[in-house]
A and B are shown apart, each in its own frame.
Chain A
Amino acid sequence: MNTSEILPEKEPGTGTHPLRFLLWLMMVSITMIFAAYTSAYIVRREEGNWLEFDLPARLLVTTIILALSSATVQWAYFSARKDEVRRVQIGLILTVVLGVAFLIGQWNVWVDLVQNKIFFGGVDSNPSGSFLYVLTGVHAFHLITGLIFLLIVLRKSFNYQVHSRQMLSIGNVTIYWHFLGALWLYLYLFLLLNH
């Protein structure tokens, strides 16, 4: 049944739409995954036998790309509030393009790492390198789910289902995309400080 039918006879709760609340909870569980990885990283590093290496410079480029994509999705969101459907679509498409560019950039980071003989697994690998692959890889996986979400909302906007009176889906995708950006920023700063 449609959730919106239920609302009037309800306690106000948090005042958010249930789907919005579900999204917040999912972000909490994603945060826990990375909290586990980064704390495992620190614990493991303290034990020694830790290969030190410079982070690939390209990571700064990908970070800037992802920050830009946060701006474009926010622009799409503001445009939706003003019922400028065309700009919503442009904003979402730009975000998808930047998101894909970020993923390609991350792939090239891995290529750089391999060229510098920092391997994920195998005889020559060290947990310090493996952790870098895991952090970027698991983040990239979640970014792909964000891209799928963006495409769904884009499709909705082509069906005229995204405008100032239907802000739920674009609001959710905006929150999720900012979350993925913030998560990456955290990981990047974490790696800068602890690599």
Chain B
Amino acid sequence: MAANIPTNSQVQGGIGAAVPHTGHDEHHDEHDHHDQHWLFKYVFSQDHKVIAKQFLITGIFWAILGGTLSSLFRLQLGWPESTMEWLTPFLGKWIEAGKLNPEFYLALVTMHGTIMVFFVLTAGLSGTFSNFLIPLQVGARDMASGFMNMLSYWFFFLSSVIMFTSLFLETGPASAGWTIYPPLSALPQAIPGSGMGMTLWLVSMALFIVSQLLGGVNYITTVINLRTRGMSMSKLPLTIWAFFLTAILGLLSFPVLFSAALLLIFDRSFGTSFFLSDIYIAGQALPNVGGSPILFQHLFWFLGHPEVYIVIMPAMGMVSEILATNSRKPIFGYRAMIGSLMGISLLSFVVWAHHMFITGMNPFLGSVFMFLTLIIAVPSAVKTFNWLATLWRGNIRFTTAMMFSIGFVSLFISGGLTGIILGNAALDIQMHNTYFVVAHFHLVMGSSAFFGLFAGVYHWFPKMFGRMMDEKLGYIHFWLTFLGVYLVFLPMHYVGIAGFPRRYYAWTGFDTFSQFADLNKFISVAAILAFFAQFVFIINFFYSIFRGRRATENPWNSTTLEWTTPVVPGHGNWPGAIPAVYRWPYDYSKPGAEQDFIPQNVPYSQTQSSNLPYEREME
């Protein structure tokens, strides 16, 4: 079909002939100086940089909320016997006679998971940096469709408002865990949280998926179609490769979650039985027959597993970029880095059932999924060794972004190793639903992705706001967070190996676990301190937007295109022509070069002293 339609030649030929480059640029300047109403400049903006900041600030809001919720349930887990009366002004009726309502405890864990996975580490992370960096680093004036990009944020905003509202319902927000397994999530009679709270959860997530798809198709199209002259796919910074593959994962997996959510909505509100069968509640049989709750798990994890890579891959990309820049060395194994990202993306779609080893699945099928899961260790190890090799004998500059990137590598290794344990069906059946799993995914996905997010904010803050963040506060933030994360999650492994199950309101009823009372208290103290350490970042962030030291155009002496824009790029990114690209993005410390970095837009003819034999032909 497409081949029949001559739009391409006609669009390109027509414009190319009519508007020479200089003419275009003048026109563009004019376009820039239009006085836009503030409402369209800062609120309903179609500029990818403004949209990125909107995602970032909404993400920060959600992160504070998600962290607050976790502090609340850590209080319960650390001091199950003590009174929580002092929280009454804050939690109202959810404190009953000095005790946290057990059902609200479930709501707290559920909302903590939902908020952190979707609203912070998906929308806040890839929404912010894909939007901000893709056009700047590939050399485009904006996204393929600014309008759809704007819609993407506002769908996210609407989804956020609905999710936030659900926190204040009479019956409480959704409480069936962030994985919302039916039948618990499908039956309002089961727990109060499966009433209105669950309905709003589903509506909010449906809008969230729309937002992700609108954003994702834009990211992919921009990377494929709007690269500047010379920016071939093999000259793309690794950040862009990571965002690109992340968007593809989202495009293929989020629609499946949408399907599952829609079926669940029908089960909840229209009396269908897709996931429900033979259920007795309070001694009464429900009419639903023929449904399969395992089917929901298959549909959910078909999204759910790629989702964890949607969370981690943008962080991987940014860390690669920041490690190379601050080691003043080319990234080690550029092509292997791309290959391993592709390998992870591909594998992420064929491992989902490793979340379901205990559902009674055929052991043979289990071993297939186990095998595929363990293969993921290979591309992950490739990435890890490449990061370490990039650092090796580098001329390291310990900027705050660099500290967080190194922290990312550390956490990714620590958390990844336990992934090899949990990927084994025989071991997972023992560990499933214990704190060992909680410790594993909080290290490898939660904390790592957060470290990637922080590294990205510290590194690209000068380009976002034209000012630098304070380094001293950054170091304080880093060390408190880094130590905090390890102090929280290392002990959790012990608790988990002992068999302590996740999502339990209190463990005081079990003698087996009473010896872990101190350890749990310790984890809670560390978690709450680490949470408060984040306010150092928040103060630094908002203070620096207005009062930070002024940034230069290229404060980190980096090679990629975003640093060739003015200190604060306007709408359209480059005031003049978009620079063309001649070289890969990692020419750091090239022997013979005048400086220890050569930006991508410097042609080989200007760097004759450092050109390698095969590059001489391109002079």
Q: Interface of A with B (CB < 8 Å)?
A: 1, 3-11, 13-22, 24-26, 28-30, 32-33, 35-37, 40, 43-44, 47, 49-51, 77, 120-123, 125-127, 130-131, 134, 138, 165, 167-168, 171, 174-175, 178
Contact = CB atoms under 8 A, between A and B. Distances in A.
Contacts of A13: 224-227
A2 to B, nearest CB: 9
Given A5-B24, A130-B274, A28 B230 contact: no
Interface string B265-297: 010001111100100000000010111100100
A15 B10 CA distance: 11
A1 B31 contact: yes
**Interface magnitude class on chain B:** 35 or more
A172 B237 CA distance: 32
Contacts of A36: 255-256, 259-260, 299, 302
A10 B226 contact: yes
Contacts of A7: 11-12, 15-16
Contacts of B578: 9
8 contacts: A8-B15, A10-B228, A14-B224, A25-B216, A120-B266, A127-B273, A130-B274, A171-B7
A78 to B, nearest CB: 9
Interface string B1-28: 1101111101110111001010010011
Given A44-B292, A125-B272, A134-B266, A10 B8 contact: no
B251 interface: yes
Contacts of B141: 1, 5-6
B252 interface: yes
A6 B295 CA distance: 46
A20 B273 contact: no
A123 B295 CA distance: 21
B146 interface: yes
Interface string B122-141: 00000000000000000011
A167 B10 contact: yes
A130 B140 contact: no
A19 B290 CA distance: 43
Contacts of A14: 224-225
Interface of B: 1-2, 4-8, 10-12, 14-16, 19, 21, 24, 27-28, 31, 140-142, 144-146, 148, 213, 216-218, 220-222, 224-232, 251-256, 258-260, 262-263, 266, 270-274, 277, 287, 289-292, 295, 298-299, 302, 571-572, 577-578, 580
A36 to B, nearest CB: 4
Contacts, number: 190
A174 to B, nearest CB: 7
A8 B12 contact: yes
A31 B271 CA distance: 26
Contacts of B266: 120-121, 130, 134
Contact of B292 (A6, A47, A174): A47
A21 B225 contact: yes
A186 B274 CA distance: 22
A6 B226 contact: yes
B292 A167 contact: no
A10 B227 contact: yes
B613 to A, nearest CB: 26
A167 B260 contact: no
Given A14-B225, A32-B256, A167-B7, A134 B262 contact: yes
A11 B232 contact: yes
- Shortest 8 CB-CB contacts between residues of A and residues of B: A121-B271, A13-B225, A18-B144, A32-B255, A171-B5, A36-B259, A25-B217, A36-B256
A10 B16 CA distance: 11
A77 B578 CA distance: 36
Given A22-B221, A40-B259, A43-B298, A3 B6 contact: no
Contacts of A4: 11, 15
